[in-house]
Structure 1
Amino acid sequence: MTVPTRHGLEAADILRLRDGMGPVLHDRSGDTLGFLVPPGTADGWDLPGSACTQTCGPGTRAAANEPPVAGTGWLVPPSVAEARATEPAELRAALGEAARTLEAARRV
């Protein structure tokens, strides 16, 4: 699941504080962050400003040294994140909170 970098960094901080963050990718250009979510999440993901696509088949696991998407690197590798995917409901909540935080910061 990918989002613009600033939004993703804010959500990652929220998830980290709640101990709910799985592995996170960054693209080499610095435009987006990608949260690894369980297989099947893309089928029902509809959050504006984000995109969710399948990168690994069901039952596959991301290797700490090999990101599953070409042109990316690990912001939070699986070894640090205990190799668990971020739960979609937790990610959706963190992204919503991050959007509200960023909107409040823009108003100041």
Structure 2
Amino acid sequence: MTGAKTAVEWLASVAPDPEACRWEWERNPLGVALLPAGRAWDVLILPGELGCATLDVLTRILGRPGPVLAGFGDARMGFLVPPGTASRWLGTGIRTAGAGSWIVVPYPGRATGGVRWLFPPDGSGTLTDPALLELAMHEAAAGLATEQGGPAGRNT
């Protein structure tokens, strides 16, 4: 449980009152907290199908990417990236959460009914490199286009 405790400490450190955040988080029956993005991380939020394919590419390359969240029904996936990434990100269909945004974050190591960690933080501050994430997204999108008979998958 040491890894989960470290992850909890790392996540709660961005809250306006980390101690109150931990206290509420651990007692909240939903097992989630609302935390500010833009301090220790930003979040790039991909549509589910692209997010799953991108995560597949990243795990082939890295083995374990930085922290990754999945939303209700896996309709969206959030990749934690370095602060400042959201303000510089240009990409159609990709939502961002940076400074001034708040995100729902599940307690690491505890099952919740909705938002969950696919790859929880390890407490070290490791995040997904945005350039690598972008390359993985391009590869994933090309693979999805091929599977769906898009331009990359047509024989002419």
Q: TM exceeds 0.5?
A: yes
Q: Which structure is larger by alpha-carbon Rg, 1 or 2?
A: 2
TM-score, length-normalised on structure 1?
Answer: 0.78
Task: Answer yes or no: is 1:21 the counterpart of 2:43.
Answer: no
CA distance in 2, matches of 1:17, 1:33: 18
Unaligned residue ranges in structure 2 (runs of 5+): 1-43
Q: Equivalent residue for 1:6?
A: 49
* The structure with more strand, counted as a fraction of residues: 2
How many residues matched? 99
- Opposite residue 12 of structure 1, the aligned amino acid is L
Quote the offset at 1:29 in angstroms: 3.3
Secondary structure in 2 aligned to 1:3? strand
Task: Indicate the residue corresponding to 1:77 in structure 2.
Answer: 120
Taking CA–CA contacts closer than 8 Å with sequence separation of 6 or more, which of the two structures ends up with the larger relative contact order? 1
Q: Quick check: which one's helix share is greater?
A: 2
The partner residue of 2:93 within 29, 42, 49 is 49
| 8 Å contact from structure 2 (residues 45, 95) kept in 1 | yes
4+ long deviations beyond 6 Å: none
Using structure 2 for the length normalisation, give the TM-score: 0.56
RMSD: 2.7
Determine the C-alpha separation between the residues in 2 that align with 1:48 and 1:103.
16
* Partner Cα distance (2:141, 2:49) in 1: 10
Gaps of 5+ in 1: none
1:97 aligns with 2:152: no
Give 1:4 deviation, angstroms: 0.9
